[in-house]
Structure 1
Amino acid sequence: MGSTVTQKLLLALSIVLILVGICLTSAGCFSPAWQVVDIREFRAEHQHGLWWDCIRAEKHVVSVGDFYDETPLHCMYKFDNSAELVIQNTLNNIDEDGAAGESEHHRFWAWHKAILFFIITSEFLAFISICSGVCAPCVPSTAFAFSISLFIAMLCSLLADGIFFLAANRVDNRFVQGMVGTYEQRIGYAFYLHLMGTLCWIGAFVCTLLTTYKFVTGDEEDGSKENLFTWQQQTQPVTLSVRYEDRRQQQQQYHHSSRSTWIN
């Protein structure tokens, strides 16, 4: 009974951590704030995401006190063909347009696509892991699929975080060139959201290993008990039969000896 309770607790904890990880990584993926830079000469905050970018105009005072009102974000997709044409035209007029250097950061680069590929793959595998974990109490063999799918999802998520961190710290991606100044981009909260989701999956994977061990060992113990019970049932009639034959032979020998004595 204690082993069953432990199995269920570990399984529930693993699934909860996986769900939390899915929520955090998805929130990070959908946020544009992977890289944030405040370009003072443009009086705007630029947020460069994985698949879309947003611009927020500089905050302005709405009262005598230190209260500021944030203007809404104006966003565009990196994979939008019309936006790509605008960026290309801006880059062609780099000598006349001072914002051309910043437009380079709105393009859909290969490392963006690689990160999105690993994130989408990790989300899909995490969902498969949850489905396998739900089936584990009824079919203990699915515990292996539970662990393997979560392990691959964790690796994909780690690769996505690693690729972004290395790419974001490259000089051409880290600094933004304005008209008169150069500004350094900082890593935004979206990356840290995704990183926290990855850490949740790491914790879930540790619990998953323990869960798989409990299910496998519990299944082996049940199988051993069943085999022992079957063996006892099979050997018991044989033992009784042997004892009956021995007793019958003893009776025959007794009658034979008694008859010999009577004849003599």
Structure 2
Amino acid sequence: MMKQSLVVLRLTLHALGGILTTIGIGLIVAGTVTPAWQVVNVTEMHAYREHGLWMDCVYGTDRNLAVHQSNPGMACTFKLDKHPASPVADTGNDHWFHVTTLALLCSAAGLGLVGLSMFCCAYCIRVAYIFWAVNTGICMVLACSAVIMFFHVANEFQHRMLHTLTEVYEQKMGYSFWLAVAGSAVYVACLLVNVLCAIIVYVVPSTHTERPRGWMMVNQHEDTLV
């Protein structure tokens, strides 16, 4: 009865780990592709600005705000574009922390996909649980490092304050940042699940049965015939 309960617990944790990994990847990707990492309402220009890792967007009614408009009142430009999206003064061309954050989050999402392949293999190969836990730990470190670094640098005065001709506005963290934070938190939970699952598999090996490989089955059949 105890063994059966542990098997059910392992399978439940296995499925939960896969679900959490998928959710974590989705949140990280959603935070990366959306532009609202820092947001500010520029009342002087009747515009709402969103600063992302690779793209900046301006929402407003002034048609002079747009360089490339997909719809009226909205303009988006790439972060490294030489032409600003609006006459509102930019926070500067020091985008190293945007690029670094983007690289860390993309790495975390990419390794998360690798983790999903280990999730599929772990059902048949016990050691895959160890690699899955290590992979998830690396994803967690990358994602947490990205959001912590961005939060620290973005709150420095030169990156937090937006200067216009007559006013100074304070930028705040947008929903994209909080999506990445949520993704990092999910990776933390996923790591705990992976570690617990690996402990169950290795402490109580009878809860995990590896499927025999084809050549082993052939050899066993030949030995039986002999």
TM range (shorter): 0.7 to 0.9
State the number of aligned residues. Answer: 198
Match of 2:16 in 1: 13
1:163 paired to 2:149: yes
Sequence identity of aligned pairs in percent? 25
Q: Is the 8 A contact 2:200 2:207 kept in 1?
A: no
For 1:154 and 1:180, how far apart are their aligned partners in 2?
A: 43
For 2:186 and 2:167, how far apart are their aligned partners in 1?
A: 40
Q: Is the 8 A contact 2:118 2:129 kept in 1?
A: yes
For 1:221 and 1:57, how far apart are their aligned partners in 2?
A: 60
Residue 219 of structure 1 deviates from its aligned partner by: 2.5
Letter in 1 for 2:90: S
1:35 paired to 2:35: no
Q: Return closer, same or farther for 1:36/1:123 CA change in 2, 3 Å cut-off.
A: same
For 2:11 and 2:73, how far apart are their aligned partners in 1?
A: 46
DSSP 3-state at the match of 2:59: strand
Letter in 2 for 1:21: G
Q: Is the 8 A contact 2:61 2:73 kept in 1?
A: no
Residue 218 of structure 1 deviates from its aligned partner by: 3.1
1:199 paired to 2:200: no
DSSP 3-state at the match of 1:103: coil
Residue 56 of structure 1 deviates from its aligned partner by: 0.3
In terms of fraction of residues, the more helix-rich structure is: 1
DSSP 3-state at the match of 1:176: strand
Q: Is the 8 A contact 2:35 2:53 kept in 1?
A: yes
Query: Per-residue CA shift, 1:208-239, capped at 9, x if unaligned?
Result: 1111111112337889xxxxxxxxxxxxxxxx
Match of 1:51 in 2: 54
Letter in 2 for 1:76: T
Equivalent runs, 1:115-154 vs 2, <5 Å: 115-154=101-140
The normalised TM-score by structure 2 is 0.81
Q: Is the 8 A contact 2:201 2:207 kept in 1?
A: no
For 1:160 and 1:114, how far apart are their aligned partners in 2?
A: 8
Q: Return closer, same or farther for 1:193/1:72 CA change in 2, 3 Å cut-off.
A: farther
Letter in 1 for 2:177: F
Match of 2:172 in 1: 186
Residue 58 of structure 1 deviates from its aligned partner by: 5.0
Letter in 2 for 1:169: N
- Structure with greater Cα Rg: 1
Q: Is the 8 A contact 1:99 1:179 kept in 2?
A: no
Q: Is the 8 A contact 1:54 1:73 kept in 2?
A: yes
For 1:22 and 1:209, how far apart are their aligned partners in 2?
A: 19
Residue 99 of structure 1 deviates from its aligned partner by: 4.0
The normalised TM-score by structure 1 is 0.70
Q: Is the 8 A contact 1:78 1:108 kept in 2?
A: no
Q: Structure 2: any 5+ residue segments left out of the alignment? A: 63-70, 210-226
Letter in 2 for 1:154: M
Match of 1:218 in 2: 204
Residue 21 of structure 1 deviates from its aligned partner by: 1.0
For 2:151 and 2:73, how far apart are their aligned partners in 1?
A: 28
